[in-house]
Amino acid sequence: MDGDLIPLEKPRPERADAARNRRLLLDTARRMVAEDGAANVTMDGLAERAGVGKGTVYRRFRTRAGIFVALLDEGERDFQQRVLSGPPPLGPGGDPVDRLIAYGRGRVCFLLEHHAVARAALDRNQPVPAGGPGLTRPHIRYLLAQAGQGGRHLDALALQLTAALEGPVLLYLATPAEAPEAGEEPAWTRQLQALAEGWEVLVRRVCGSTP
């Protein structure tokens, strides 16, 4: 495990009834996303569909964005586990530049796979996006330092690379609704490839290495 990184906070112990309500609400929200789309999931709608009081939903998630942050949490934990203790190049043991490239590729893939939920997890009432960059910034900083990059500008460079990886994907990426023609490559796979390749070019230039 990388010593400079702080794993995601472990869930607090819950009463049995609270744990059941949490699982019920998350399972219901997941079905609603699959059936109706993330844009149509509301706090009141979730309460009605799950058969619980509105207060239960508001106490659990606080905001609509909080529903989607919670839905992302399990996937985030799995992704972080692969970063902290999985095989290289994403996990420990590899060259730091290779790990940085692998992290960006993995993160782009994760965000595309969870595209609708990741966008809905953004709370416009907050000064920064909810979730997402929690692991990204310290991990990028750690790998840059290992690679001997950044110097006295290490923190600023880590912040800028975090924005390059997280911000545009979460805020602007849109998966086309229309299905591809027979034999045609889906547009999202082309987006994934372009974003991953762009990340690698950026990292190699910052680190002064060549493909």
Q: Which domain holds residue 54?
A: 13-62
Q: What is the DSSP letter of 151?
A: G
92-102 pLDDT, tens digit each? 999 999 999 99
pLDDT of residue 184: 61
Q: What is the DSSP letter of 126?
A: S
> SS3 for 148?
coil
147-183 pLDDT, tens digit each? 999 889 999 999 999 988 886 665 565 555 555 455 6
Give the domain CATH number at 34: 1.10.10.60
pLDDT of residue 23: 92
pLDDT of residue 137: 92
Q: How confident is the model at residue 145 (pLDDT cuts 50, 70, 90)?
A: very high
DSSP states of 55-78: HHHHHHHSSHHHHHHHHHHHHHHH
**Contact assessment for residue 122 and residue 130, using Cβ atoms and an 8 Å cutoff:** yes
Verify that 76 and 136 share a domain, yes or no.
yes
Any idea how long the chain is?
211
Verify that 139 and 154 share a domain, yes or no.
yes
